[in-house]
Structure 1
Amino acid sequence: MKITINNKEIECQPNKTILEVAKENDIEIPTLCYQEGFEARAVCRICLVEVDNKLLPSCSTKAKEGMVISTESKKVLEARKINTELLMSKHIQSCFVESKEHELCKIAKNVGIRQAKFDSNKKTYIVDKGIAIVTDNNQCILCGRCVQACQMQNVNAIDFAYRSYHTKVTPAYENKLDDSVCVNCGQCLLACPVNAIYEKDDTKEVLKALKSKKHVIVQTAPAVRASLGEEFDLPAGTLVTGKMVSSLRKIGFKKIFDTQFGADLTIMEEAAELIKRLKENKNLPMITSCCPAWIKYIEHFYPEFLNHVSTCKSPHDMFGAIAKSYYKDKYKINKKDLVVVSVMPCTAKKFEIQRKEMKKEVDYVLTTRELARLIKIKKIDFNNLADEDFDAALGLSSGAGTIFGASGGVMEAALRTAYETATGKKLEMLEFNQIRGMSDFKEGSIIINGKTVNFAVVNGLHNAKEVLEQIKNKECKYDFIEVMACPGGCIAGGGQPIPTNKEIVEKRMQALYINDKNNTIRRSHENPAIIQLYEEFLGRPLSKKAEKLLHTNYIKRGI
């Protein structure tokens, strides 16, 4: 069918909204409450367009044959400006920040607003400072994007409460976020257009540690190197590993290590655990344990299946355990003087290190965004830094460790090692393409010593629920399942640069797969640093020492 937008005739498919058609034809219509992939709520009225002398929200209005639309008529521009002014009155009065994290302020600037026109009668709220996530209702404009994101995750930790002037977004019974079923995945944070939800900032504590006489080391997750560049205006998917390492040295860390070393270590333990469970035919399917948001989700909603979860700690916590034992002893560092900092794409890692089961093996977690702020605080010219390498030996890793950051990567890395260590044979094809990409649910099978092992990969907690229901109903055909809370995996974690959308996530993913392909070591069990660690310290996977340092347990939580 044909419609006209701004005097331009356009052919479009039926059942598409005006906004969707405009986007497909590079016609810009500003939006605020709208999120791609979610049902349009049409509450902000920023995306208004004029049709037959009427103002309609383009995000929820379907295009019809012969429709004549204006996105920039005088009526539209006036309405857009006054609606933006009304929204700004709900936001902090003095906030006109030019930032990717403040979409409303950017819109305000574009429509010509320089100061708040309307007085705010909004209530003043106490900021909820959680272990991982901070929520500030003083900045909230009630667009509902965070609520939608939480509902999509099937967590439902937050929702609208009260009416009219009293309306606010809050956990049930106005509990603190830490006292709710929130899993700290941070998808609400990525969705918020006004920075009313943000990560707990640990940069000051890290800077304080760096100024002390303590031995402060840092590790960086695989996903960070494929996204950090976006904070310095580099294209999405640009690998900045060398510049990242260089910037961390300039900040003042004593040693810069790679969490991919911890990922390789995780694979050694997890692959051995899988083979053991397959032989004993116990607690199958085995489900991965790398994602702390997923772990908290199953602890809240399906604690009866915790025995299915791998006992392996996450890679950065495994690294922390090795740093505060093997590394400390080898380099004769007093444990009280050793500070371990993790740079993660994830807000849930901040919660994870506070779990008593983890024994404070990691002292601080910084998100990708926090690292970028630290680099800017230190006035480091990131884009012009020379590339530098990680420190040996805890900085040496395989390509298998790299792909941990993408959905399917943990499964692929584990299968490479599980197959080869169990059979003594080499895989002809290292790439498991059937479990790569952005699909919600991916599956495959592999024959190990005559047994067909069925595996599945899910990302997004609403998809995890479906698998858990299969287990509950005794309908699950899988032996091994990978679960990541965030859509696309860690590469789209709550600590990543904003915006994080499907197109950007796919580019970050591809960067990790290219990094794996170009690595001379692509199997975790062939990492010489890992081999040395077992020979000198751990003995073998699942040894008593490995069980004590690298494995954990979980707890049942209420709903």
Structure 2
Amino acid sequence: MKIKIDGKVVECDQNKTLLHILRDRGIEIPTLCYQENLKPEARCRLCLVEINGKLSTSCSKYPEKDMEIVTNSKKVKRARMINAELLISEHAKECFIENKEHDLCKIVQDVGLKDIRFDPTRKYKVELGTSVIRDNNLCVNCGRCVQVCADVQATWAIDFAGRGHNEHVTPYFEHGLHDVACIKCGQCIAACPVGAISEREHLQDVLKVLKDKKKHVVVQTAPSIRASLGEEFGMKPGTLVKGKMVSALRRCGFDKVFDTNLGADMTIMEEASEFIRRLSKGGPFPMITTCCPAWIKFMEHFYHDLLKNMSSCKSPHEMLGVLTKTYYAKKSNIAPKDIVVVSVMPCTAKKFESTRPELKSGVDYVLTTREFSKLIKHFNIDFKSLPNEKFDPALGISTGAGVMFGATGGVMEAALRTVYELATGKTLKKVEFNQLRGMCGIKEGVISLNGGKIKYAAANGLANARKLLERKNDYHFIEIMACPGGCIGGGGQPLPYSEEKIQKRMKAIYKEDRKLPFRKSHENPIVKDIYNEFLGAPLSRKSEKLLHTHYIKRSMF
């Protein structure tokens, strides 16, 4: 189809919106409410263009015959500026003056707005949660958080209430997030373009404990951090910064720097053994992974019938937390009460997880990737110039299987590598399960095991998980991660998000897997030492006590 754009006749794809067509041609159009891969709602009215003389939103309009589009007329500029002014007036003048990081503040600068004629009149109480903080005084009702919670996570914990000037985003019945089926995933934080939603920070707590000379402060870092942290310091998405990351943590003052990937290897040992035990007993199937705390809370609210299907394994950082205060404490002759464990995670739900009484958590504080970057900047560390250093060996050696936990499908792939070899006694010739890789919402496959066929699947994004669970009885083994792309796209990762960034981080994860000397969790020499010296064997009484847990039923309202 041919249309006219700014006086030039162009060929275009009639299945693309005008916003995409214009951006494909290098014409920058401001947007605030638009989100990649989601249906446009056209709430912000910043993407206005002239179509045959009339103003229209480009995000929701498709090309038509004889359409003439003007993208930068005086009429368009004025309309965008007025809409930006109305939005920023509901935000905060302080942000207009001081903060250039939020999407709205950048747009205000780009459209040339010099002054705001209106004062904000909202007076909402800031909601402080264990993982997520909401400040409706900063909200502009763009709807991005509501759309993500509904369409991506299928949780519907928040929505719009009120009319006109009183319209606002809130959990149902005006409850707090802690009283509703919020899963703490943080995808609303990633979606918010104005900073009205943020994580509950533990940064000041960590800075305080680092000054306490009586405490032995240990830090562990999740698999995905090494593939995303560099973005906070101007490096390209997908840049592996493991060595610099370890170096930075030592310069921040941590006594030991451990690798959560070792916890992932321990998780695989327990989870694979648990699955093999279920095979011998005939079920219950499917067995479902429990590494993702947001998925666990989702299950506790909406799928009580799955309690019997859930693996009893704790998540990797929780396993490493308890091993730090037991195995490591004993070997190092340090009293557990004097050890403080800090986890650097891509996930806001990990903050909630560490407070769950059922876990008897060994983790004291959780920092997101964003908080970690603030910690590095607090100490004026020049991250890019740091030398590469290695994790402390006591709990710092890991495998390629462990690092794959950062990507959707990675937990299942790591588990299958070990399940096959433990169950058959044979060497798995091809360790890559390519059918489990990539951004597809649901992935599945079959593996032969001792003459039988084991069907497995993985889902990322809880709307996709709901679809997969409709046919859960087709499978023996299921992995579910709440965030799109898995932990690599977690709610605590560097902003802004895009699918392209997540894919680059994911490629870095698999690159790390390929170059490590050990690629299967049961090959890890530290894992062998922990069992030989301390736990005895996977699923032993001691392993069950320290590395396993249970889950509860929660109301869906």
Q: TM-score, normalised by structure 2?
A: 0.98
* Stretches of structure 1 lacking an aligned partner (at least 5 in a row): none
Give 2:314's aligned amino acid. K
Q: Deviations over 1:34-70 (max 9, x none)?
A: 1111111111110000112111100011111332211
CA drift at 1:466: 1.9
Give the match for residue 243 of structure 1: 244
- 1:134 aligns with 133
1:504-515 equivalences under 5 Å are 504-515=501-512
Tell whether the 8 Å contact from 1:94 to 1:115 is kept in structure 2 after alignment: no
Aligned positions of 1:486-497 closer than 5 A: 486-497=483-494
| Residue 217 of structure 1: aligned partner | 218
Name the residue aligned to 2:300. 299
* Separation (CA, whole Å) in 2 of partners of 1:40 and 1:444: 34
Q: Aligned equivalents of 2:228 and 2:235: distance in 1?
A: 9
Residue number in structure 2 paired with 1:437: 438
Stretch of structure 1 that moved more, 523-532 or 36-45: 36-45
Structure 1 residue 7 displacement after superposition: 2.9
Q: Which residue of 2 aligns with 1:390?
A: 391
> Which secondary structure state, in structure 1, belongs to the residue aligned with residue 394 of structure 2?
coil
Shift of 1:115: 3.9
Aligned residue for 1:8?
8
Which SS does the other structure have where 2:352 is aligned?
A: helix
The separation in 2 between residues aligned to 1:233 and 1:5, in whole angstroms, is 35
> Hey, what does 2:291 align to over in structure 1?
290
Task: Quote the residue 2:537 is aligned against.
Answer: 540
The aligned amino acid for 2:371 is E
Give 1:100 shift. Answer: 7.6
Rounded Cα–Cα distance in structure 1 between residues aligned with 2:543 and 2:468 = 30
Taking the aligned partners of 1:9 and 1:338, their CA distance within structure 2 comes to 68
Kindly indicate whether the alpha-carbon contact (under 8 Å) linking 2:328 and 2:394 is maintained by their aligned counterparts in 1. Answer: no
Offset at 1:470?
A: 2.4
Question: C-alpha distance in 1, partners of 2:259/2:98?
Answer: 33
Q: Distance in 1 between matches of 2:505 and 2:101?
A: 19
CA distance in 2, matches of 1:275, 1:216: 37
| Per-residue Cα deviation, 1:432-470 (whole angstroms, up to 9, x for no partner) | 001100001110011111111000011110111123232
Pick closer, same or farther for the CA change 1:26–1:240 going to 2, 3 Å. same
Displacement of 1:304 after TM fit? 1.6
> 1:494 and 1:115 mapped to 2: Cα distance?
33
Q: Which letter does structure 1 place at the counterpart of 2:519?
A: R
Q: Which moved more, 1:131-140 or 1:57-66?
A: 57-66
| SS of equivalent residue, structure 1 residue 411 | helix
1:65-104 correspondence to structure 2 within 5 Å: 65-96=65-96, 101-104=101-104
Q: Any runs of at least 4 consecutive aligned residues in structure 1 with deviations exceeding 3 A, and if so which? A: 97-101
- The answer for the alignment partner of 1:204 in structure 2 is 204
Asked if 1:481 corresponds to 2:482, the answer is no
State the AA in 1 paired with 2:225: V
Query: Where does residue 28 of structure 2 map in the other structure?
Result: 28
- Confirm or deny: 8 A CA contact 1:101 1:195 kept in the other structure: no
The 3-state SS of whatever aligns with 1:245 is: helix
Query: For 2:78 and 2:275, how far apart are their aligned partners in 1?
Result: 62
Letter in 2 for 1:269: E
Counterpart AA for 1:484: M
3-state SS, counterpart of residue 96 of structure 2: coil
Partner of 2:194: 194
Q: Which residue of 2 aligns with 1:519?
A: 516
Range moving further from structure 2, 101-110 or 362-371 = 101-110
- 1:166 offset after TM fit, Å? 1.3
The 3 A distance-change label for structure 1 pair 532 and 98 is farther
| Number of the residue aligned with 2:61 | 61
Contact 1:98–1:105 (CA under 8 A) maintained in structure 2: no
Aligned residues of 1:94 and 1:116 also touching (Cα < 8 A): no
Is residue 454–residue 475 contact of structure 2 (8 Å, CA) maintained in 1? yes
Higher deviation after alignment, 8-17 or 440-449: 8-17
The whole-number CA distance in structure 2 between the counterparts of 1:30 and 1:119 is 23
Q: State the identity as a percent.
A: 58
How do 1:417-432 and structure 2 match up within 5 A? 417-432=418-433
User: Which amino acid in 2 is paired with 1:167?
Assistant: E
| Structure 1 stretch displaced more, 8-17 or 231-240 | 8-17
Q: What residue number does 1:400 align with?
A: 401
Following superposition, the deviation at residue 283 of structure 1 comes to 1.3
SS in structure 1 at match of 2:421: helix
After alignment, is 460-469 or 313-322 more displaced? 460-469
Matches within 5 A, 1:124-163: 124-152=123-151, 153-163=153-163
Deviation string, structure 1 residues 484-518 (Cα, Å, up to 9, x no partner): 00111000000001112111100000000000001
Aligned alpha-carbon RMSD (Å) = 1.1
Is residue 51–residue 69 contact of structure 1 (8 Å, CA) maintained in 2? Answer: yes
Question: Is the contact between residue 442 and residue 468 of structure 2 (CA under 8 Å) also seen in structure 1?
Answer: no
Q: What does the per-residue CA deviation read over 1:516-544, in whole Å, with 9 as the maximum and x for residues that have no partner?
A: 00111101000001011110001110000
Which amino acid in 1 is paired with 2:73?
A: S
- 2:227, 2:238 within 8 Å by CA — same for their partners in 1? yes
Match of 2:393, SS state, is coil
Secondary structure of 1:226 counterpart = helix
Q: Which residue is 1:458 aligned to?
A: 459
- Could you say what secondary structure the match of 1:272 adopts? helix
Do the aligned partners of 1:98 and 1:106 also contact (CA within 8 Å) in 2?
A: no
Of 328-337 and 241-250, more deviation after overlay is shown by: 328-337
Q: CA 1:154–1:166 in 2, change beyond 3 Å: closer, same or farther? A: same
Give CA deviations for 1:355-408 in whole Å, capped at 9, x if unaligned: 001213100000000001111111111111111111112110000001100000
C-alpha distance in structure 2 between counterparts of 1:100 and 1:394, whole Å: 41
- Separation of aligned partners in 1, 2:512 and 2:114: 45
Change (3 A) 1:100 1:218: farther
Note the C-alpha offset of 1:6: 2.3
Greater Cα shift, 456-465 or 406-415: 456-465
Say whether residues 1:528 and 2:529 are aligned partners: no
User: Residues 70, 237 of structure 1: CA spacing in aligned structure 2 closer, same or farther, 3 A cutoff?
Assistant: same
Amino acid at match of 1:136: D
Cα shift readout 1:155-207 (whole Å, capped 9, x = no counterpart): 00000011112111000111111111000111111000001000001100000
Give distance in 2, aligned partners of 1:428 and 1:4.
Answer: 57
Change (3 A) 1:537 1:432: same
Offset of residue 97 of structure 1? 6.7
Counterpart check, 1:357 vs 2:354? no
| Equivalent pair of 1:227/1:497 in contact (CA under 8 Å) | yes
Q: Is contact 1:222-1:401 (8 Å) kept?
A: yes
Report how far residue 282 of structure 1 moved.
1.8
| Cα distance in 1, alignment partners of residues 538 and 367 from structure 2 | 30
Give the equivalent residue in structure 1 for 2:337: 336
Contact 2:90 2:122 in 1 (8 A): no
Does the CA contact (< 8 Å) of 1:90 and 1:140 recur in 2?
yes
Whole-angstrom distance in 1 between the partners of 2:69 and 2:21: 11
- SS of residue paired to 2:198: strand
The alignment status of 1:229 with 2:230, answered yes or no, reads yes
In 1, Cα distance between the equivalents of 2:130 and 2:182? 11
Q: What CA distance in whole angstroms lies between the structure 2 residues aligned with 1:78 and 1:445?
A: 58
Shift of 1:123: 2.1
Cα distance in structure 2, aligned partners of 1:110 and 1:381: 30
